Amino acid sequence: MKIISAKYIFCNGKYEKDKAIVFNDKILEIGDIDYITKKYPDTNITKYEDNSIIYPGFINMHTHLEFSANRATLKFGNFIDWLYSVFENRDSLVQNLTNDTINSAINEMARSGVTTFGAISSFGADMQECKETPLRVIYFNEVIGSSPAMVDTLFNDFKMRLEESKELQDDRFYPAIAIHSPYAVHPFLLREVLNIARKDKLLVTAHFLESPSEREWLENHSGEFKTLFEKFFNTSTPVNTIDEFLNSFKGIKTLFTHCTQAKDKEFDFINENNSTIIHCPRSNRLLNCGRLDINKVKNLTLGSDGLSSNFSLSILDELKAALFMHTDIDLNNLALKLINSVTINATNALNIKVGDIKEGFNADFAIFTLPNDLKDSSDTSLALHTIINCNQADNIYIAGQELSLD
């Protein structure tokens, strides 16, 4: 059993003062430092320095580790140009992927206070590293393919990867399902894979309405996607409509990524379906996809996306970008909203006992130090200064064990 304490602890969306946390691999009790000291006189308390904050370990909901070899290979600035560059370079990027590349990507997340992340896996090449990392991983096996001739092969390949990942399941590695997007997944695959998700109660995620050209293709069968589909897939018709695609998720709490081009009717469906939106602000900027209207989102979470469309996997960098992007929202309120998006909102999305500090939850923590001249200790100010003044976590704990951050 261990006890840690700090000036501030972020519990259930609020900052509590002068509390201590008692834990083994799970959180046992949270109470005033004086009370806990008296109750557990024989246990040494680790007191973090003044102006420190203990957060629940942060959650990066969406990344693609298999693309971690990319630094400057893929073309940024326009979604379709990026996609062409993915087609051209995907094989070489995967060939250049080593375990070291994957682990340094994971370590970058850990240094920023992340203790749980969602990994979209296209090929299964990152499965072993995701299994071996001490961080918790939601391992989203991706299904992708719109051509009818390929559907059976792709479905079988998906099922094999899913089965392999299910055998590795434990309380740090959660097999799950990623449906690539409405434009790239054939309705047969969509239906079959969602049936598996329902039957096995697996989490589901999907890229959704990421770029203006995606919307134009799905709605009007025109635009840059039309040229691409005619060239590569010999077709001029999308495989799904926006409505059909979205309606197939009815009753499944889904994590929809991007949604920069969603309109009210799609936000309404997502919100009423108890689903979550994963906001990837830097990826959206780099692929020139527009900006998510976060005011429309009931359950907002945050993701870095992969190094395929970003320049770091630090969730602190992502929080900073989001803070600077949403200039229409009051700065201090936005900061707290964003801190919630990497903690408690992710708890709601995942059904796993992470993202909050409360009894029975996993003892996953990220500890940060704020500047010692901090004057305003209101919740919104603490959130703001965490985002703008912290560039790395001082310590992280997962399942009660402190991890060394190199």
Neighbour count for residue 317 (Cβ, 10 Å): 17
80 binds ligand MCF (CB under 6 A): no
Cβ nearer to Fe ion, comparing 266 with 305 = 305
Min separation Cβ 315 and ligand MCF, Å: 16
Report what 94 binds from ligand MCF, Fe ion, none; CB cut-off 5-8 Å by kind: none
Q: Which of residues 86, 125, 150, 196 is near ligand MCF by CB under 6 A?
A: 86
Q: Kindly state the number of chain residues that form the binding site for ligand MCF, as judged by CB under 6 A.
A: 16
Q: Which residue is nearest to ligand MCF (CB)?
A: 122
Cβ nearer to ligand MCF, comparing 115 with 141 = 141
The answer to whether residue 216 is catalytic is no
Tell me the CA end-to-end span of the chain in Å, nearest whole number.
25
Cβ nearer to ligand MCF, comparing 144 with 352 = 144
Distance CA 41, CA 296 (A): 49
**Cβ atoms of residues 94 and 123 within 8 Å:** yes
Distance CA 345, CA 333 (A): 15
Report what 285 binds from Fe ion, ligand MCF, none; CB cut-off 5-8 Å by kind: none
Q: Which residue is nearest to Fe ion (CB)?
A: 305
Cβ nearer to Fe ion, comparing 66 with 356 = 66
Rg (CA), the chain: 21
Q: Which of residues 122, 299, 343, 386 is near ligand MCF by CB under 6 A?
A: 122
**Cβ atoms of residues 54 and 357 within 8 Å:** yes
Min separation Cβ 101 and ligand MCF, Å: 15
Site map (CB under 5 A) of Fe ion, residues 125-164, x = contact = ----------------------------------------
Cβ nearer to Fe ion, comparing 186 with 282 = 282
Residue the block writes with tokens 């799904």: 240
Min separation Cβ 302 and ligand MCF, Å: 14
Contacts of 291 (CB under 8 A, 6+ apart): 260, 281, 284, 285, 325, 326
Q: Please, what is the Cα angle at 191 between 186 and 197, to 5 degrees?
A: 125
Identified catalytic residue from 142, 210, 224, 266: 210
**Cβ atoms of residues 261 and 215 within 8 Å:** yes
Residue whose C-alpha is closest to residue 292's, from 268, 318, 326, 265: 326
Q: Which long-range contacts (CB under 8 A, 24 or more apart) does 166-171 make?
A: 166/200, 168/127, 168/131, 171/136, 171/362, 171/399
Site map (CB under 6 A) of ligand MCF, residues 207-246, x = contact = x--x------------------------------------
Site for Fe ion in 282-341 (CB under 5 A): 305
Distance CA 146, CA 229 (A): 10
Which residues are near ligand MCF by CB under 6 A? 64, 67, 86, 120, 122, 142, 144, 180, 184, 207, 210, 283, 305-306, 308-309
